[in-house]
């Protein structure tokens, strides 16, 4: 199956716009095969694990097929748990963000039924529900399926394992006329085949076979860390392990840009590879990474396909990949050519379930790794300083310095104490610099901001990270003081503190961003 982008699936502008805002560039294998089949109206069974992107695989086509002018329920999605119901509803709302007047209503136990009654009375195009609460509404007459066009059974095997078969059959008995039935299941058991035979018409089966082979030389680890600490976690691991080249994977373009900027502010040479980076710029970035001019490269899965660098020491999964097959592709970027490598995946809370799914696919447990403490980092830096001292001692040429130190030792200090004092001074200088780099900038008075207009925009493939990076890099001002950035099709507006506006004008005019010559004017 060839790699493709969402734009090749002939989706509506509203869906493509939502996908772009969510930062997704390309369909996962299950999405690539299921979306066209469902849009064409075929009954379908998708055999795929959790974490493969199956919600969008049925969510995108059902949104495309929804008739907004018809306020009857056109699609019902059954889920085994209320947690999955909430998750699916949230995903559908994001995907339909630019579809005007589309209404999606979740119905599940544990929430006051009065809220659901009001929402259903106002009208719903799509209902996402657990079997029990769905039957409750059917019995009350508050949920009518007379005009149902599509039924989706999500995690059908899980629903059958939980004893919902009779509930599913009862819900199906309320439907009238022809309907499209779509089912997703991790396994296709005899019970699943019975449902296919009884309630589906010539269903098409889409099975995603996962490649589970991973390189033996890769140490695969998982770190429990909340989202807000993940940038700090990358820095700590890079420092304590002294990695030379690091590769970080994110699920969205937006996150790659913001993360690269955060790493730059912490003193790491970093750059971005995502679908918005043109080929010419991509080649430049890759050459810099191979030369070691970039410490950390931040990329999306699509942009990193075919990425060939032999010396990557560590791969960080900032986000757990959408598909466990992507996990295999990601970590394979380290440990190449017989070398050893490390893969570190960040997780927290409910995302641990997706870690279990990955472990099932690769048939291997990920090693639990604690987040290094500040003390660990400091001790590691001290070890690094000692190695540097040893290198200097071995190089020789210390006679002038020995003469100066002996004058101190003749007094009340030993040579060991003097050496320790020098190390303390060095480490405290490093700590002060790091705190200065990470210090929260002063709040800028928005009344003293000046708006600048740049002659580039979305058509030039410009993102917020490009704007901030260029201004900070060329003018020397801290990226944190830059205000609101409004990227339009052919131009971009940026709020800059008024006392810095002229400095930015001088630095940026006739400069370049992503190969585009820049003209900046005050608004």
CA distances from residue 52 to 222, 354, 359, 445 in whole angstroms, order as listed: 19, 10, 14, 45
**Per-residue pLDDT averaged across 474-484, rounded?**
78
**Per-residue pLDDT averaged across 152-180, rounded?**
87
At residue 306, the pLDDT reads: 56
CA distances from residue 151 to 81, 87, 207 in whole angstroms, order as listed: 17, 18, 20
CB 359 within 8 A of CB 221: no
CA torsion 296-249-436-504 (nearest 10°) is: 80
**Per-residue pLDDT averaged across 496-506, rounded?**
86
Angle (nearest 5°) at CA 440 between 436 and 444? 120
Tell me the whole-structure pTM to 2 decimals: 0.52
Which range, of 88-92, 116-120, 156-160, averages the lowest pLDDT?
156-160
At residue 305, the pLDDT reads: 58
pLDDT digit string, tens, across residues 409-449:
766 677 777 777 777 777 666 655 555 444 444 444 545 78
More confident residue, 324 or 374: 374
Domains and CATH numbers, the chain: 6-207 (3.40.50.300), 218-372 (3.40.50.300), 375-438 (no CATH), 446-522 (3.30.70.330)
More confident residue, 411 or 137: 137
**Per-residue pLDDT averaged across 192-204, rounded?**
89
Look up residue 3 and give its DSSP letter: -
- What tokens appear for 485 in the block? 């950035």
pLDDT digit string, tens, across residues 364-411:
889 999 988 888 877 777 776 777 778 777 777 777 777 777 777 766
Determine the length of the chain: 523
At residue 446, the pLDDT reads: 46
Three-state SS for 257-311 is: HHHHHHHHHCCCCEEEECCCCCHHHHHHHHHHHHHCCCCEEEECCCCCCCCCCCC
At residue 52, the pLDDT reads: 67
Give the position of tokens 């600490």: 229
Q: Would the pLDDT of 40 be above 90?
A: yes
Give Rg (Cα) of the chain: 28
- What tokens appear for 504 in the block? 């930015």
- What tokens appear for 301 in the block? 């899965």
Contact partners, residue 121, CB within 8 Å, separation at least 6: 142
**Per-residue pLDDT averaged across 161-182, rounded?**
87
CA distances from residue 372 to 152, 198, 295, 352, 369 in whole angstroms, order as listed: 44, 55, 20, 20, 9
Positive/negative CA dihedral, 93, 99, 100, 101: negative
Pairwise CA distance, residues 133 & 138, whole Å: 9
**Per-residue pLDDT averaged across 3-7, rounded?**
77
At residue 368, the pLDDT reads: 92
């Amino acid at each position: 199956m060839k790699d493709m982008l969402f734009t090749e699936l002939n989706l509506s502008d509203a869906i493509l716009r939502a996908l772009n805002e969510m930062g997704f560039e390309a369909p996962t294998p299950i999405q690539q095969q299921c979306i066209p089949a469902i849009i064409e109206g075929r009954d379908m069974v998708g055999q795929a694990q959790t974490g493969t992107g199956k919600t969008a695989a049925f969510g995108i086509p059902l949104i495309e097929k929804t008739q907004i002018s018809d306020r009857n329920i056109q699609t019902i999605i059954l889920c085994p748990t209320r947690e999955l119901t909430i998750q699916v509803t949230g995903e559908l709302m994001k995907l339909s963000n630019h579809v005007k007047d589309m209404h999606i209503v979740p119905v599940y136990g544990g929430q006051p039924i009065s809220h659901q009654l009001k929402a259903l009375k106002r009208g719903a195009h799509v209902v996402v529900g657990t079997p029990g609460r769905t039957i409750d509404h059917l019995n009350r007459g508050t949920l009518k399926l007379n005009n149902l066009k599509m039924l989706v059974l999500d995690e059908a095997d899980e629903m059958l394992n939980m004893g919902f078969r009779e509930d599913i059959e009862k819900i199906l008995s309320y439907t009238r006329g022809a309907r499209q039935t779509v089912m997703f299941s991790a396994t296709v058991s005899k019970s699943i085949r019975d449902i296919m035979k009884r309630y589906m018409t010539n269903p098409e089966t889409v099975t995603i076979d996962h490649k589970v082979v991973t390189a033996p030389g890769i140490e695969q680890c998982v770190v429990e860390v909340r989202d807000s600490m993940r940038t700090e976690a990358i820095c700590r691991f890079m420092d304590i392990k002294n990695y030379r080249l690091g590769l970080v994977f994110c699920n969205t373009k937006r996150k790659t840009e913001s993360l690269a900027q955060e790493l730059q502010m912490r003193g790491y040479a970093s750059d971005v590879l995502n679908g918005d980076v043109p080929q010419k710029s991509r080649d430049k970035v890759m050459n810099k990474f191979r030369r070691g001019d970039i410490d950390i490269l931040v990329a999306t899965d699509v942009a990193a396909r075919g990425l060939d660098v032999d010396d990557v020491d560590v791969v960080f999964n900032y986000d757990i990949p959408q598909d466990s097959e992507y996990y295999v592709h990601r970590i394979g970027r380290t440990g190449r050519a017989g070398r050893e490598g490390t893969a570190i995946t960040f997780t927290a809370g409910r995302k641990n379930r997706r870690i279990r799914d990955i472990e099932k696919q690769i048939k291997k447990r990920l090693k639990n790794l604690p987040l290094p403490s500040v003390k660990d980092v400091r001790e590691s830096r001290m070890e690094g300083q000692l190695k540097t001292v040893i290198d200097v001692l071995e190089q020789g040429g210390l006679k002038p310095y020995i003469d100066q130190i002996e004058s101190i030792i003749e007094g009340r200090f030993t040579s060991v104490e003097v050496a320790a004092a020098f190390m303390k001074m060095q480490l405290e200088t490093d700590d002060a610099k790091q705190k200065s780099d990470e210090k929260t900038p002063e709040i800028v008075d928005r009344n003293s901001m000046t708006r600048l207009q740049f002659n580039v925009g979305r058509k030039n493939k410009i993102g917020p990270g490009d704007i901030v990076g260029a201004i900070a890099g060329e003018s020397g001002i801290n990226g944190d003081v830059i205000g609101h950035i409004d990227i339009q099709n052919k131009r971009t507006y940026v709020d800059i503190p008024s006392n810095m506006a002229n400095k930015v004008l001088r630095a940026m005019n006739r400069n370049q961003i992503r190969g585009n010559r820049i003209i900046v004017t005050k608004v």
